[in-house]
Structure 1
Amino acid sequence: MAFWADIDADYVLRYQQWHNCEHIPERVSIPGFVEGRRYRALDDRPHFLMFYDTQDTSVLSSEAYMAALNKPTPWTREALTHFRNPTRDIFSRIAVVGRQRKFASSYITSLRFDLLDEGSEATYAERWVQAAAESENVERVRLYKADALIGNMGTSERSVHGGGPGKQAYLALIEESAPPTEAQGPISRADAATGGGAQRSSEEINRYWLEIAHRKGDGE
């Protein structure tokens, strides 16, 4: 599950306290959740990417998770009213190159996009991801496809923040050990190797630095 949102500037500290101290630990404790992370926009705007890794997408429609979504804590209800321009998507992973490190990657780029030709999905899953992963400082590249059926489910939390699925079907997460750059970065490298840029539409690129990561077993 990936969630992009701006946070009211005067609420950012309170939001970080809520997310660090209550929300991520609560979510990661749910059966099937593996890890939760939050990244902040590299230019320090109050724009954040929050995401959770789960054992599979069925966890995100499980009884335990739906119970949490439909009975938010008072602090959660408060925090969600300060989300602006929210987008929340459920994804299934279709490709990965690289490995998860002991510590979460310090930087991440999210590339959301559609494909002009669905037949080019195989190119992305096989060649584009590999080419992006061969770039300097890249630790792991993951490619996902949205699961609209689960993503569109209505919950009490959604009725507060108002965020639904984004318009793009695909998400690439590029994890790096150094600040990502646009010029000569992994996206440019992969596009040059595969012609991938010509295959994309409706793309959104955001670059972030890590604020917090909490993995199952870290104090659980």
Structure 2
Amino acid sequence: MLAGEAVVAIWNGVAEEGWAMNYAWHIQEHMSERVGILGFNRGRRFRGIDATTHPALFTLYEVDTMQVLQGQDYTNRLNAPTPWTRAAGKHSRDTSRGLARVVASHGPGVGGVMATIRFDADASAETALAALVREAAGAPRVTGSHLGVADAAASGVVTEEKRNRPDIGAPPGWFILLEATDAEALAPLLPDAALLAAGARGPVRRGVYRLEYLRTKTAWAP
């Protein structure tokens, strides 16, 4: 299960010349900074398993509640980006970031690979989609199955960290995260037809990512 009732879910690419900086910044500063915020419990960084996964990176922060994501501690950090964050942000591409409540979360733990499935839906579809997510959690070698719904207003707030960032696009709406021991375990789960029958609206955007880095609660100082 996810470590909290809310998440920050971020999909993004990186310009070719920015990869070395991105890895150094994200591992040495950025994730520890984020997980150091009160109410943030765990951060995970993933990279696409092959070139067909776009964008190349997926980052997930697991947080106590949506109130934490709309609170002053997180807002203050977003409005005071470090010099390294500003520099790394110039190399980001195709960014979609959502502050989301966790509607459903099942499974015993963290998987080595994660499938992300993004789509739109009406609130009336929540029960049916949550049932699909619960069923998927019982599949062989699946370690987690989660449904999130982004808060459009909270996700769209323009902070100093986002200002003058042309790479930042629309936030996600609804998304499903499936974790497993291997990509083959994820392949047959939740086909588009099943999602659409449950009330999802296309286009359905999929990616499969492998876990690169995990950080739990940590102290951080600038």
TM-score interval (norm. to shorter) = 0.7 to 0.9
Whichever structure has more helix as a proportion of its residues is: 1
Quote the residue 1:110 is aligned against. 116
Counterpart Cα distance in 1 of 2:58 and 2:164 = 18
1:16 partnered with 2:23: yes
Instruction: Measure how far apart 1:196 and its partner are.
Output: 2.9
In structure 1, how many angstroms separate the alpha carbons of the residues matched to 2:111 and 2:125?
Answer: 28
Q: Aligned to 2:157, what secondary structure does the other structure show?
A: coil
Shift of residue 106 of structure 1? 0.9
SS at match of 2:19: helix
Q: If the length of structure 2 is used for normalisation, what is the TM-score?
A: 0.86
Q: Tell me the equivalent position of 1:121.
A: 126
Shift of 1:202: 2.1
Q: CA, structure 1 residues 182+137, in 2 after alignment: closer, same or farther (shift >3 Å)?
A: closer
* In 2: Cα distance, 1:80 partner to 1:57 partner: 25
Where in structure 2 are the equivalents of 1:187-202 lying within 5 Å?
187-188=190-191, 195-198=194-197, 199-200=199-200, 201-202=202-203
The C-alpha deviation readout for 1:100-129, integer Å capped at 9, x for no partner, is x3xx421000101112x542221111x201
Moved over 3 A (4+): 180-183, 217-220
CA contact (8 A) 2:78 2:160 kept: yes
Query: Could you tell me how far apart the structure 1 residues matched to 2:101 and 2:184 are?
Result: 25
Change (3 A) 1:49 1:175: same
Structure 1: gaps (5+ residues): none
Distance change >3 Å, CA 217–CA 15, structure 1 → 2? closer
Q: Matches of 1:75 and 1:158 in 2, distance apart? A: 14
Contact 2:44 2:213 in 1 (8 A): yes
The percentage of counterpart residues that share the same residue type is 30
Name the counterpart of 1:213.
214
Which of 158, 162, 178 does residue 162 from structure 2 map onto? 158
Matches within 5 A, 1:46-61: 47-61=56-70
Q: Deviations over 1:16-47 (max 9, x none)?
A: 11000000001101101001111001105771
Distance 1:95 1:112 in 2: 15
Specify whether residues 52 and 41 from structure 1 end up closer, same or farther in structure 2 by C-alpha distance, changes over 3 A only.
same
Query: Structure 1 residue 219: deviation in Å?
Result: 9.7
Cα distance, 1:30–1:88 mapped onto 2, change above 3 Å? same
TM-score by length of 1: 0.86
